[in-house]
Amino acid sequence: LLLDLILVGIVKAVVRRRRPAQNQMDMFATFSVDTYSFPSGHATRAAMCGRFLLAHLVLAAPLRVLVLLWVGLMGLSRVLLGRHNVTDVLFGFWMGYCQYNLVEILWFSPQTLQGLLGHLA
């Protein structure tokens, strides 16, 4: 999730897409609300967490559907609240999906890590 925060921050700083016109800057109880909307950080994190749950937990079909529904509703809520455009959310889903793939590729299994650390000792 730290990787996600960094990458979303970088993309937002580069693209600098303003939030939709109907967005209300009424989030006074938060720490850092940025003025840029592309991509949706909520969507990236929902996609990453959803993929994690689907990949690492043995879930019955109804629970798998609930995970997918949760991810979809997270994105829909960002559009309905006026915080993001549809493209912000769709790109956020894609970005979160790709970030999860990257983490899966770079993740060391406990056995691999023990082997690497065993050579150092």
Give the catalytic positions in this structure: 42, 84
* Cα 25 to Cα 69: distance, rounded to the nearest angstrom: 28
Strand (E) or helix (H) holding 8: helix 2-15
Q: Count Cα atoms within 13 angstroms, Cβ side, for 9.
A: 8
Contacts of 100 (CB under 8 A, 6+ apart): 47, 48, 51, 52, 55
Q: What is the secondary structure of 24-73 as a DSSP string?
A: ----TTSS---SB-SS-HHHHHHHHHHHHHHHHS---HHHHHHHHHHHHH
